[in-house]
């Protein structure tokens, strides 16, 4: 870590879902984001923090909290096939898919199983580490919250009646914990209603943090989640400035609690970051949508409502602009055969799968294939070593003097490797070009807006603002943030 001065101030991490560099800079230039501009001016601004792959919030948040990629923390994406449980896991894509899979199961997975069961016990979260050190942390509306302290989720009666999920279920979370109306610090019902996403919204996040600041209960570390910008960008597109303005207004409410904003910097360390970017999506459905059922129509694809049947050959786990495609029988449905079929679709950017002891990557537009594995003669900017053979242009790699430089797919090798080793099963990965997104049996689409999940830099790079400290992370990747945050607190 680059530490110039000791830092014992509380650390407040604000995650603004889908905050991106270009629209943030434009909003600041137009005077629409004075709070973010203040933090940038008084601190340090980094435009290109690299998110893990798939670029879906649950994977990003798990990577942030554990300091590991998904091959270690085991949350592969928003949708994935759980071989141990022989079922498709969906943490919340669209009600059409959730109803087919079973609403109770979807809620169980999001609220309980993701943190209690699916995240590997071989890794620890920031909350667990801090509590083990005798320090206190807070989680406010964050999707990943695992810690050592028991809390009960108070589910609305209508939800318990519909799903038959037991009321007051215990979860292990950070010492100070708030998650929508299910667990809250401020007993007020403002911003907590069903039509306000059950309290998982920006205003509710600010309301809960305000409780800690006003009652002088800020712990060593607080993570505060602003979810609303993501939904606006899905609908309005990458350059939606109004959404940034709204997020900034919430940030202003927090800074105003200190009177003079400089007091906020003197009393706390502030970190503001996006979690993933979004790539633009065509407005015309016939252009934008890559229907994987049509692309693989010669195979028997599992139906969501029916679950796995004996005749099924393929399972689709669509994560917006990327997808996991599983073969249930490598003899009749080998991955290389699936890959060849998918190469016929010109809107697919990257196809990758495990082939023996290496990873094979192909593209429609680039000849041949790229093969890579860990521990070789090439070293990238993050100090990772790789063995690389074949056509590096497929991943826009520059290989020179045993060095690897990444192009439009930041940290591509580690990110692909992690997702392909993130869970059991025989599967390949597809990532779409900007402008396009995948659908399966009820996946959401964002025509004329934007989507994420993919390997491309539009999905991947987010800004980072650090204020109230002279320290900064060694590497500009989400996976490296945990180590740095712990160094701030210790």
Given this model, what pLDDT does residue 199 score?
Answer: 55
Asked if residue 402 and residue 459 are part of one domain, the reply reads no
Q: Tell me the mean pLDDT in the region 85-98.
A: 82
Distance CA 333, CA 327 (A): 6
- Judge whether 172 lies within some domain: yes
Phi, psi angles (nearest 5°) of residue 22: -60, -50
CATH of the domain at 256: 3.40.720.10
Given this model, what pLDDT does residue 103 score?
Answer: 75
- Judge whether 479 lies within some domain: yes
457-478 burial, b for 16+ CB within 10 Å, e for fewer?
Answer: bbbbbbbbbbbbbebbbebbbb
- Judge whether 153 lies within some domain: yes
Residue with tokens 């215990």, as numbered in its chain:
170
Asked if residue 262 and residue 217 are part of one domain, the reply reads yes
- Judge whether 102 lies within some domain: no
- Judge whether 367 lies within some domain: yes
Asked if residue 330 and residue 438 are part of one domain, the reply reads yes
- Judge whether 205 lies within some domain: yes
Asked if residue 262 and residue 320 are part of one domain, the reply reads no
Q: pLDDT at residue 63 above 90?
A: yes
What is the helix (H) or strand (E) element at residue 150, kind and residue range? strand 146-153
Mean pLDDT of the chain: 92
pLDDT band at 1 (very low <50, low <70, confident <90, very high): very low
Lowest mean pLDDT among 5-19, 310-324, 332-346: 5-19
pLDDT band at 195 (very low <50, low <70, confident <90, very high): very low
Domain count, the chain: 2
Please state, in angstroms and as integers, the Cα–Cα distance from residue 121 to each residue in 162, 180, 232, 354, 486, following that order.
31, 25, 35, 25, 20
Asked if residue 435 and residue 459 are part of one domain, the reply reads no
Asked if residue 274 and residue 345 are part of one domain, the reply reads no
Q: Do residues 465 and 43 touch, judged by C-beta distance below 8 A?
A: yes
Distance CA 291, CA 280 (A): 18
Distance CA 391, CA 350 (A): 13
Asked if residue 440 and residue 349 are part of one domain, the reply reads yes
pLDDT digit string (tens) for 208-224?
999 999 999 999 999 99
Asked if residue 209 and residue 178 are part of one domain, the reply reads yes
Asked if residue 421 and residue 314 are part of one domain, the reply reads yes
Q: pLDDT at residue 198 above 90?
A: no
- Judge whether 264 lies within some domain: yes
Asked if residue 389 and residue 298 are part of one domain, the reply reads yes
Asked if residue 137 and residue 60 are part of one domain, the reply reads yes
pLDDT digit string (tens) for 441-464?
888 899 999 999 999 999 999 999
pLDDT band at 3 (very low <50, low <70, confident <90, very high): very low
Given this model, what pLDDT does residue 2 score?
Answer: 41
Asked if residue 166 and residue 194 are part of one domain, the reply reads yes
Is the sign of the CA dihedral 440, 328, 409, 51 positive or negative? positive
Distance CA 442, CA 238 (A): 24
Q: pLDDT at residue 391 above 60?
A: yes
What range does the domain containing 443 cover? 285-448
Q: What percent of the chain has pLDDT over 70?
A: 92
pLDDT digit string (tens) for 264-309?
999 999 999 999 999 999 999 999 999 999 999 999 999 988 889 9
Given this model, what pLDDT does residue 253 score?
Answer: 98
- Judge whether 94 lies within some domain: no
Q: pLDDT at residue 192 above 80?
A: no
Q: Which residues contact 309 (CB under 8 A, 6 or more apart)?
A: 302, 303
């Amino acid at each position: 870590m680059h530490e110039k001065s000791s830092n014992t101030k509380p650390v407040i991490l604000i995650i603004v879902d889908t905050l991106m560099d270009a629209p943030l800079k434009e909003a600041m230039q137009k005077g629409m984001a004075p709070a973010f501009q203040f933090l940038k001016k008084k601190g340090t601004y980094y435009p290109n923090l690299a998110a893990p792959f798939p670029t879906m919030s649950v994977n990003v948040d798990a990577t942030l909290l554990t300091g590991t990629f998904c091959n270690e923390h085991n949350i592969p994406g928003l949708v994935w096939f759980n071989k141990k449980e022989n079922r498709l896991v969906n943490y919340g894509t669209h009600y059409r898919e959730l109803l087919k899979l079973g609403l109770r199961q979807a809620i169980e997975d999001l609220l309980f199983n993701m943190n209690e069961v699916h995240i590997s016990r071989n890794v620890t979260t920031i909350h667990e580490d801090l509590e083990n050190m005798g320090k206190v942390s807070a989680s406010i509306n964050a999707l990943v919250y695992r810690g050592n302290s028991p809390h009960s989720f108070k589910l609305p009666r209508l939800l318990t009646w519909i799903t038959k999920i037991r009321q007051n279920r215990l979860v292990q979370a950070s010492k100070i914990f708030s998650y929508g109306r299910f667990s809250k610090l401020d007993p007020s019902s403002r911003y907590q209603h069903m039509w306000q996403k059950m309290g998982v919204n920006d205003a509710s996040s600010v309301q809960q943090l305000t409780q800690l600041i006003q009652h002088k209960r800020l712990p060593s570390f607080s993570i505060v989640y602003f979810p609303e910008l993501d939904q606006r960008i899905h609908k309005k597109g990458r350059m939606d400035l109004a959404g940034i303005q709204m997020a900034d207004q919430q940030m202003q409410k927090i800074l105003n609690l200190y009177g003079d904003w400089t007091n906020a910097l003197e009393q706390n360390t502030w970190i503001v970051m996006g979690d993933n970017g979004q790539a633009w999506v065509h407005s015309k459905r016939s252009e934008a949508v890559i229907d994987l059922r049509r692309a693989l129509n010669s195979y028997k694809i599992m139906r969501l409502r029916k679950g796995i049947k004996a005749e099924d050959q393929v399972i689709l786990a669509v994560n917006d602009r990327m997808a996991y495609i599983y073969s249930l029988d490598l003899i009749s449905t080998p991955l290389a055969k699936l890959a060849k079929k998918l190469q016929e679709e010109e809107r697919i950017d990257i196809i990758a799968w495990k082939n023996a002891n290496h990873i094979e990557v192909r593209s429609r537009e680039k000849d041949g294939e790229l093969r890579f594995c860990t521990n070789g003669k090439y070293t990238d900017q993050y100090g990772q070593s790789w063995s690389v053979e074949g056509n590096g242009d497929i991943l826009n790699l520059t290989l020179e003097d045993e060095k690897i430089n990444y192009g439009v797919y930041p940290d591509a090798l580690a990110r692909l490797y992690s997702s392909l080793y993130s869970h059991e099963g025989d599967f390949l990965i597809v990532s779409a070009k900007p402008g396009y997104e995948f659908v399966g049996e009820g996946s959401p689409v964002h025509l004329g807006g934007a989507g994420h999940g993919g390997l491309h830099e539009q999905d991947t790079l987010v800004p980072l603002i650090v204020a109230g400290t002279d320290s900064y992370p060694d590497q500009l990747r989400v996976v490296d943030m945990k180590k740095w945050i712990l160094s701030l607190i210790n």
